[in-house]
Structures are given as C-alpha cells and as structure tokens.
Amino acid sequence: MERIIVVGSGFSGSIIARMIAEKMNKKVIVVERRNHIGGNAYDEYDENGILIQRYGPHFINTDNYSVIEFLMQYSKLFRHDTKLLSYIDEQYVRLPFNFRTMQQLVGDKKSEYLLKQMRAEFAGRDRVAIFELLKSNDDAIREYGNLLFEKAYKTYTAKQWGLNPDQIDKSVLERVPMAMNYDERYLNKDFQYLPINGFTKLFENMLNHKNIEVRLNCDAFDHISFDYEAKKIKYDNKDVDLLIFTGAIDELFSLKYGRLPYRSLNIKYDYYDEEEVLPCEIVSYPQAPGYTRQTEYKQIAFERPVCNKTVVATEYPVEYTPDLETGNIPYYPVLTSESKCIYEQYVKEAESFGNIVLCGRLAEFKYYNMDVCIEHALEKFNEIKLLLEE
Ligand SMILES: Cc1cc2nc3c(=O)[nH]c(=O)nc-3n(C[C@H](O)[C@H](O)[C@H](O)COP(=O)(O)OP(=O)(O)OC[C@H]3O[C@@H](n4cnc5c(N)ncnc54)[C@H](O)[C@@H]3O)c2cc1C
C-alpha cells in the first residue's frame, strides 16, 4: 500500500486529497500545521453568529461554470455579486471605476465630453485597463487616467507593497479595469458565488471521506526528512511514496537557497453596537494612513444574523516576518527577478526526488485566485494519477 502524504488543507491540498481518496480509492494523510482546515479560505462564526473569514474576504468568481459545479458537490452556494466602494476625497465612489465614478470625481459637466470620447474610443468593450486611458491620444481621457492613478492607485499600491509612492510605476494599472458603463459589480466574472454555510463547512465535507485522515496542529517539518543520497523522502523515518506539498517551498528545504519574500496582513477587528456601519461590504481607502481595506462581514452573509452588533475587519499590509506575532503569514508573493531565481532552485531540488508534487500558492510561489487554484489542483490530480498508476 502506498504512503501518500498531503501537506496543507487549503483548496490545493484538500482537492487533491479528495480526488486521490475518491477516484483512486487510496488512503491519504493530510497534515495541517494550523488548528483548522481550509487554509486561507477558513471562516468561523463569532459569538454574535457573524461568519468571519479570518484571513481576509474571499469571493468565488469564475467564467468557468464547472468550478461552481465542482464546489456544489460539497456545499450549497448562493449567488453573490461582490460590491466595493472606494473612499476618495471624502466621498464614496464605486469600484470598479465606472461612468458613475467619473461623474462623481470630475462632475457631470466635464464627464459629458469624457463619456462621448470614451464610448467612441473603446466602442464595444465592457472594461478597459486604466493603463490604456493613460496612452490615449485624447488629452481629457489621459488626464482622467492620471487622476485615477494619483488619487486611487499610487498610494494604495505603495501601502500594499511597502514602497514609497514615488516608486510606483503607472504600469501597475495594466490590469486594473475601468467599466465602460455603469456596471457596479467589482469583479467582471460571469459566476460569482459564496458557500451558504461558509468555506470551512465546504472543506469539512470535501475532506470527509473514509480514505482521508486529517492531522491538525501538525507541522510537516517536524516529521519530514530527506535522504539525499538515496533520493528518498521520509515521514516519521518511513518511506513516503508520494508527497503532495502545498506549503512554502523555501521552508520545505530549510531555506537553503534563501527565504522567498512575501507581503503579509495585520487584520484588526472593531466591534460596534449597531446593525451596520459601512456603506458597502468592502470599502477601500487609498488615501488613509496605514490601512487599505475594511470589510463588514455581516453584509456578505447568506442570512444576516439578527443582532445589533457588527464587526469591521481592517487590513494593514505589513512585511512578512515569520518569527513575529503579527505579519507571520505569507499572503502575497513578491515577484522579482531575484525571487524567481531563488524559487527555480527550490523547484529543481524538489524535482530531483521524482515523487514530490508542488501545488498551490505557496509551493508554486504564485498568486492564485481560488477559481484558478481549483482548476489547477484538478489538473495536478491528473498528473498524480499517472504517477500513481505507473
Ligand atoms: C487577503 C486575500 C484575499 C483573497 N481573496 C480572494 C477572493 O476574493 N477570490 C479568490 O478567488 N481568491 C482570493 N484569494 C486567493 C486565495 O486565498 C487562494 O487562491 C487560496 O487560498 C490558495 O489555496 P492554497 O491551498 O494554495 O493555499 P493555502 O490556503 O494557503 O493553504 C496552504 C495550507 O498549507 C498549510 N501548511 C503550510 N506549511 C505547512 C507545514 N509545514 N505543515 C503543515 N501544513 C502546512 C497552511 O497552514 C495552509 O493551511 C485571496 C487571497 C488573499 C491573501
């Protein structure tokens, strides 16, 4: 019988474990260092019955309905179009920036000309990257693009990545869209959903299989060792046939080629004796000192708990420092030519064993949205199947 170990119980690890257990009828051990399953999508109810996503707000959004169908095997989902406002110059404006935002920021009179010009220049397109506005031949469109950069993106991006605003290049707007209409949905994907009873319940159902054993509070690094000469992986000194690793790849090899850089978040919670306090479920604050976003979780619940209390989570981007009490969770990979080079050395090392499968945002040092992460884990399973059938 094979010994298959999956490290990590986020989307990547849980999906692969379930697939191996169900489709191949093989036993899998899932090792999770936290005291809960679900990775960064973990959520829990607080004492007021409000469902809080402890690692920041997550919304499933995809153009690929098969992702939704896949998740529906493990939880009922409800449609939820994510809505965001941004607080700029002491007023709330809609995100994504759309025609209404333009009217709010430059006034109706000025926007009349801009609307006409944009409709002509970007005819037939729902969304256009703000970077394209900056490259327009029309002075007014370019000026509006610059205004968005200065007021919304320069300082936000600087806070997010811990940089000086002057270091922020306009190319950050290459993938930031503006809606060429009055569309109020933040995300431009066809299918936007959330699990009715939360992500953790979905993970519980996914991992609930006779062939899966989940070990919480268990750091894989206390158990894994490598025999470099024989190219063997050991878990508690016994051979492992297949290691599916979804944790941080630099940690797997004891940082031997250096630490991979990440940004982290310090999330602070404030409770209010009120029904609701924010004008929208998420508000971004490009101009505020230190923090970037606030989320009022009550507003994204399938059924809003009846209580005159609410909680707001405020995100403070911080440097990733594994040994400190705050900022010790790697959130966003900092992709530079140097970090990519370090990452490649770890991948080579992993490949030299022949039976380590790297999957997920930490093991592959990539920012994955959940939909991409889910599709990717299912693809990885197909590779694993071939490996196990060899
Ligand atoms: C603030 C924020 C908001 C986001 N919002 C969205 C959103 O709205 N929509 C969207 O599609 N995506 C969103 N994402 C992306 C989403 O979080 C990822 O796609 C997803 O969590 C990746 O899952 P994963 O399994 O690869 O990694 P993770 O969820 O990080 O799981 C890895 C697991 O491995 C465990 N682990 C690591 N090392 C060890 C070890 N040594 N031993 C045992 N266990 C270990 C960790 O504890 C963790 O549980 C967001 C990300 C962030 C940071």
Q: Whose alpha carbon is nearest atom 33 of ligand 1?
A: 8
The CA-based angle 328-330-332, given to 5 degrees, is 140
Atom of ligand 1 nearest to the CA of 220: 42
Q: Whose alpha carbon is nearest atom 34 of ligand 1?
A: 8
Distance 387 CA to ligand 1 centre (A): 25
Tens-level pLDDT at each residue, the chain (390 residues) = 679 999 999 999 999 999 999 999 999 999 999 999 999 999 999 999 999 999 999 999 999 999 999 999 999 999 999 999 999 999 999 989 999 999 999 999 999 999 999 999 999 999 999 999 999 999 999 999 999 999 998 899 999 999 888 888 887 788 889 999 999 999 889 999 999 999 999 999 999 999 999 999 999 999 999 999 999 999 999 999 999 999 999 999 999 999 999 999 999 999 999 999 999 999 999 999 999 999 999 999 999 998 899 999 999 999 999 989 889 999 999 989 999 999 999 999 999 999 999 999 999 999 999 999 999 999 999 999 998 887
Q: Pocket residues for ligand 1 (CB within 6 Å)?
A: 7-13, 31-34, 39-41, 56, 58-59, 219-221, 246-248, 331, 360-362, 368-371, 373
What are the chain's domains?
4-69+196-261+333-389 (3.40.50.720), 91-179 (no CATH), 262-319 (no CATH)
Q: Whose alpha carbon is nearest atom 35 of ligand 1?
A: 8
Atom of ligand 1 nearest to the CA of 12: 25
**What's the token pair of residue 139?**
């002075």
Distance 362 CA to ligand 1 centre (A): 8
209: CB partners within 8 A, 6+ apart: 18, 21, 22
Distance 360 CA to ligand 1 centre (A): 8
Distance 14 CA to ligand 1 centre (A): 11
The DSSP secondary structure of 167-224, one letter per residue, reads: G--GGGGGG-EEESS----SS--SEEEEETT-HHHHHHHHH--TTEEEE-S--GGGTE
Identify which of 202, 246, 266 to mutate to test ligand 1's pocket (most ligand atoms within 8 A of the CB): 246
Looking at residue 278, its pLDDT comes to 98
pTM of the model: 0.95
